Structure 1
Amino acid sequence: MGAVDLWTTMVVVLVAAMVQSTTGFGFSLLAVPLISLVLPTESAVVIAATLGTLTSSAQAIGQREHGDRPTILRMLAGAAVGAPFGLILLTVASNRQLKFGLAAVIIAFLVINLRGLTIERGSRGVDVVAGTISGVLNTSLSSNGPPLVMALHARHMSPSAFRATISAVFAGTGVITVGLFLASGRYDSDVRKLLVAAVPAMVMGYAIGARVRPHIDPPRFRQAVMVLLTATAIITLAGALMAS
């Protein structure tokens, strides 16, 4: 690990945290593909998933009284089933295949948002399936938001209940993911050093986002983030095509 790897990771984490703090989404969708420009995609996934677990846990604790507990438990049950399969994918897939997977998830997220695709009705089955897909995506790519967002929107929750519920599911899925990463020896010395350096950058990014949030035009900033995600998908696809 060199200085370029360290500083690139810190800058990417800062920017991704600022975007997440300002818009409510985008941390892993930005962090994983951009960090993977200088690190193996597997390491980028471990770093982003671990940092995401820290932030989601803090949010979940602060909003715990508003969460829909039965929905949370169903989604986490699904995540517990799906997460080991995601770890298998992370283990057997090549760096190139993981990059293609990242690009596919980003493109799917963009299509869902731009076309306003939704699930008409929520149900217990939808919760479990969304949780299972989320578990697979979190351990393999650290990008598990889209299925959870679609499933929870179908339940027509209040904003406070939605935020609390999805934060709790993110946190619980993250704990499962971190446990699997620990058990499988994913935290090597380089990853540990990068995490230590990235945590202050993440805190700073969230603080900057919180400060600038009241002074920006949300629709325009959201459009800018969509453009940034599109560019990220293109860069990731190009990297996958050039990877061996």
Structure 2
Amino acid sequence: MIEPSWVAWLDMALSTWLGCALVLALGAFVQRATGFGLAVVGAPLLLMLEPRLVPVVLVLFGFTVSLLTLRHYRREVRLSEIGMALAGRLPGNALGAWLLLAAPMVVLEKLIAGSVLFAVAVTLFRLRLPVNRATLFSAGIFSGIFGTVAAIGGPPLVLLMHGFSPDRLRGNLAAFFIVTSLLTLATLALVGRIGAWHLGMAASFAPAVLAGTWLANRIAHRLDRRLLQGASLSLCTLAALGLLL
């Protein structure tokens, strides 16, 4: 049986593509419904299905979501609160790029699993740390490492800023992610980790992400937010533990 040309272009089994589309739709649904990161839900599951999609496709969609978020919360952005974190992101991106080039996949899987478990812990245990230039710079470094390797750059910043008002937190994180997503994409391009295939795959998955967002807009208000977040955290934890085993 001759496969259609678009199936051959996917360079993966159609069943794998459908699984990845479902994961991204689920991640978009959960993020819109709870504010929880698309990458945290998607990274460990996509790594099991198709490792080539991590982190490029997640970074592209993270950038898109951040742009949409900033439209609503741009007045809450304070450059003084994210400037040092942005400075720390530069050496963090460099370290993350080095890991992508030098570390074997088994090490990267463990790092991604660790970053997912860290994200889950940040969500569950809201530790209060001082917010100053040193902690922001350090958070930026870890954000750069996790963001470049797995597109999960948010937890270090959330750990520091969770005491902010919800709108202020969303605005600052959206602005931070817009800048850092561009930095990460530039870093990945410099080390040869972005190709036309990644851009085409992102375009092919866009309807799934939009569908997950649309569905969340329609029914999320009817769901128990804590129950939904608990289910997503459990799924992330199981997926991360699966990478560690």
Return the offset for 1:30. Answer: 1.7
Deviations 1:58-88 (A, max 9, x none): 2224321111121122221111231121111
Give TM-score, length-normalised by structure 2: 0.89
Question: 1:31 is matched with which residue?
Answer: 42
Q: CA RMSD in A?
A: 1.7
CA distance in 1, matches of 2:218, 2:128: 32
Tell me if structure 1 keeps the 8 A contact 2:41–2:232: no
Amino acid at match of 2:135: V
From the superposition, tell whether residues 72 and 116 of structure 1 become closer, same or farther in structure 2 (CA, over 3 Å): closer
Moved over 6 A (4+): none
Question: 2:160 is matched with which residue?
Answer: 151
Tell me if structure 2 keeps the 8 A contact 1:9–1:194: no
Tell me if structure 1 keeps the 8 A contact 2:92–2:144: yes
CA distance in 2, matches of 1:113, 1:35: 21
Return the offset for 1:19. Answer: 0.7
Tell me if structure 2 keeps the 8 A contact 1:90–1:141: no
CA distance in 2, matches of 1:216, 1:72: 33
Tell me if structure 1 keeps the 8 A contact 2:126–2:159: no
SS of 2:54's equivalent in the other structure is helix
Amino acid at match of 1:143: I
Return the offset for 1:6. Answer: 2.1
Amino acid at match of 1:89: L
SS of 1:18's equivalent in the other structure is helix
Question: 1:66 is matched with which residue?
Answer: 76
Return the offset for 1:232. Answer: 1.4
Tell me if structure 1 keeps the 8 A contact 2:92–2:141: yes
- Are positions 1:122 and 2:131 aligned together? yes
Amino acid at match of 2:91: V
- Are positions 1:226 and 2:237 aligned together? no
Deviations 1:80-109 (A, max 9, x none): 231121111112121111111111112222
Return the offset for 1:159. Answer: 1.7
CA distance in 2, matches of 1:184, 1:144: 19
Unaligned 5+ runs, structure 1? 239-244
Question: 1:102 is matched with which residue?
Answer: 112
Tell me if structure 1 keeps the 8 A contact 2:44–2:116: no
- Which of 58, 83, 91 pairs up with 2:93? 83
Question: 1:242 is matched with which residue?
Answer: none
Superposed, 1:172-191 pairs within 5 Å as: 172-191=179-198
CA distance in 2, matches of 1:230, 1:173: 26
Question: 2:168 is matched with which residue?
Answer: 161
Return the offset for 1:174. Answer: 0.6
Question: 1:235 is matched with which residue?
Answer: 242
Question: 2:144 is matched with which residue?
Answer: 135
Aligned residues between the structures: 234
CA distance in 2, matches of 1:126, 1:206: 33
Return the offset for 1:13. Answer: 0.7
Unaligned 5+ runs, structure 2? 1-10
Amino acid at match of 1:53: F
CA distance in 1, matches of 2:237, 2:191: 33
CA distance in 2, matches of 1:144, 1:193: 24
Mean Cα displacement is larger for which, 226-235 or 9-18? 226-235
CA distance in 1, matches of 2:85, 2:125: 25
Question: 1:241 is matched with which residue?
Answer: none
From the superposition, tell whether residues 115 and 61 of structure 1 become closer, same or farther in structure 2 (CA, over 3 Å): closer
- Are positions 1:208 and 2:215 aligned together? yes
